[in-house]
Amino acid sequence: MYFDKKKAELDDFTYPIGTTIDRFIAQKQAEFPQATGELSQLLKDIVLASKVISREINRAGLSGIEGMTDEENVHGEKQRMLDVIADVRFTRALVRGRQVCGILSEVSEGIIDAGNPNAKYVVVIDPLDGSSNIDVNIAVGTVFSIYERVSEPGTPFTNEDFLQEGDKQIAAGYVLYGASTMLVYTTGYGVNGFTYEPSLGEYFLSHPNIQQPESGEYFSVNENHFEEFPTKIKAYIKQCKDKHLSTRYVGSLVCDFHRNLLKGGVYLYPSHHLSPDGKLRLSFECNALAMIAEQAGGVATDGEKRILGIKPTWHQQRSPFYCGSKKMVEELLAIDS
Ligand code: AHG
Ligand code: MN
Ligand code: MN
C-alpha cells in the first residue's frame, strides 16, 4: 500500500523509459518461432558500431579527425578520415559479431572476408554518407543492407552474394547522426525509428511504424546540372516550383531522405552528361532507402523501373534515384517526355 502510494506520487519522475532497441529486436524475433537469432545479433552489431561512430562524430571537431586522408575510394573520390574510421568500426563489429561471411563497403576495395564462412548473411554498407559535410558540422549518416547469401554457407562467399536485387534484402536501414542520432530500419514488416539516448547509451523506439505522407511540400535536388537533366525531370522540377514547393537539400542523402520520409517530399538525383547513371550507388545507397521508402508507403524508381527490381551487374553500379512520397513520384512518372 505504502509503495503504491509512493509510486503514484513519483509517477512524474519515474515515467517509463520506453522500449530499447535490444528489447524491440527480441520482441520481433519472438514473433518468428523459427528465427535462430542470427539476424538479431547482426542488427545488434550494427547498433553497437553506430553508437561508437555517433561518439566519434560528436567529438570530430575536438579530436582532430576532420579532414582528408591521402586515399581515394574505388569510385575515385577523396576519402575523409571519418569515412575510414566509420568503415573500420562497422567492419570490426560485423567481423567480431560472426553473423556475416563478407562485407562490401563503399570505402574498401573488394569484398572484405569476415572470416566466418558458416555465416549466412552478407552486408553492403555506406559507412559514412554525406561525408563532405562532416568538416562543417552538418549531419551525416550510415546506410546498410543485409542479404542472405546465395552461395552455400560453409563455402567461400561469391560475387553473386553481393549482386542481388534490392527485393532480396532481408533487412535495411540507416543511421542519421544529426541533432540526435537516430537509427531507422526495416525487416520487411514496416519501418521503425529509434532515437539514441547518449547518457544511457541506448536507442529507444521513438518513431514506431513510420508511414511516409502521400504527398509533401519539399523537393530535394542539386540543380547544378539542371540543363543536362532528362526532359521529364526538368519538367517535374518546374512543376514543383509552379506549385511553390520548397527546396530542401542537405547534400547528405540520409538526411534528405529522412526529412522527406517523415514530412513528405521527393528526392531526385538524375543522370546528366558527366554522370550518365547519376551519382548514387544502387547497392550502397539506393537499395536500402528504396526498401524503407516502399515499406513506409513511398516509391523509389530510376525513372523507369522500381529500384528494388534492378539486378546489379557490378558492385559499384550507379543509378538515377527518384524517391519519396507516393503521389509525388507518381506525378513525376506520369509526365510525358
Ligand atoms: P558519400 O558521402 O557516401 O560519398 O555520399 C555522397 C552522396 C549523398 O550523400 C548525397 O546526397 C550526394 O552525394 C550529394 O551529391 P552532390 O554533391 O552532387 O549533390
Ligand atoms: Mn553515400
Ligand atoms: Mn560514403
User: Residue 154 has what pLDDT?
Assistant: 97
162 and 53 within one domain: yes
103 and 83 within one domain: yes
253 CA → ligand 2 middle, Å: 7
User: Residue 303: helix, strand or coil by DSSP?
Assistant: coil
Ligand 1 near 220 CB (within 6 A): no
Q: Please give the average pLDDT of every successive group of 10 residues along the chain, which has 337 residues.
A: 74 84 97 94 98 93 76 78 94 97 94 97 98 92 98 97 98 98 98 97 98 98 96 97 98 98 98 92 98 98 98 97 98 93
8 Å CB contact between 279 and 272: no
Q: Is residue 6 part of a domain?
A: no
Ligand 1 near 252 CB (within 6 A): yes
177 and 28 within one domain: yes
163 and 282 within one domain: no
User: Residue 321 has what pLDDT?
Assistant: 98
Please count the structural domains in the chain: 2
106 CA → ligand 3 middle, Å: 6
To the nearest 10°, the Cα dihedral for 313, 283, 136, 228?
A: 50
User: Residue 79: helix, strand or coil by DSSP?
Assistant: strand
Atom of ligand 1 nearest to the CA of 129: 3
User: Residue 1 has what pLDDT?
Assistant: 64
177 and 283 within one domain: no
Ligand 1 near 131 CB (within 6 A): yes
91 and 111 within one domain: yes
- Phi-psi category of residue 104: left, alpha or beta, with phi > 0 → left and psi -120 to 50 → alpha: beta
130 CA → ligand 1 middle, Å: 5
Atom of ligand 1 nearest to the CA of 128: 3
Structural domain including 301 reads: 218-334
214 CA → ligand 3 middle, Å: 29
26 CA → ligand 1 middle, Å: 34
User: Residue 234 has what pLDDT?
Assistant: 97
Domain boundary among 207, 238, 265: 207
Q: What is the CATH number of the domain that holds 126?
A: 3.30.540.10
Q: What is the CATH number of the domain that holds 300?
A: 3.40.190.80
| Residue identifier of the C-alpha nearest atom 6 of ligand 1 | 130
- Give the amino acid at 195: T
Q: Is residue 213 part of a domain?
A: no
Alpha-carbon span 304 to 121, nearest angstrom: 30
Atom of ligand 1 nearest to the CA of 130: 2
234 CA → ligand 3 middle, Å: 27
276 and 166 within one domain: no
Alpha-carbon span 165 to 169, nearest angstrom: 8
Ligand 1 near 161 CB (within 6 A): no
Atom of ligand 1 nearest to the CA of 250: 11
101 and 35 within one domain: yes
Q: Is residue 174 part of a domain?
A: yes
Ligand 1 near 295 CB (within 6 A): no
Domain boundary among 181, 207, 233: 207
Short-list 64, 19, 25, 59, CA closest to 43 = 25
User: Residue 331 has what pLDDT?
Assistant: 98
Ligand 1 near 294 CB (within 6 A): no
Ligand 1 near 83 CB (within 6 A): no
pTM of the model: 0.95
157 and 33 within one domain: yes
223 and 199 within one domain: no
Q: Point out the ligand nearest to the CA of residue 253.
A: 1
User: Residue 116 has what pLDDT?
Assistant: 96
Test site for ligand 1: of 280, 281, 283, most ligand atoms within 8 A of the Cβ: 280
192 and 111 within one domain: yes
Q: Is residue 38 part of a domain?
A: yes
Domain boundary among 207, 241, 272: 207
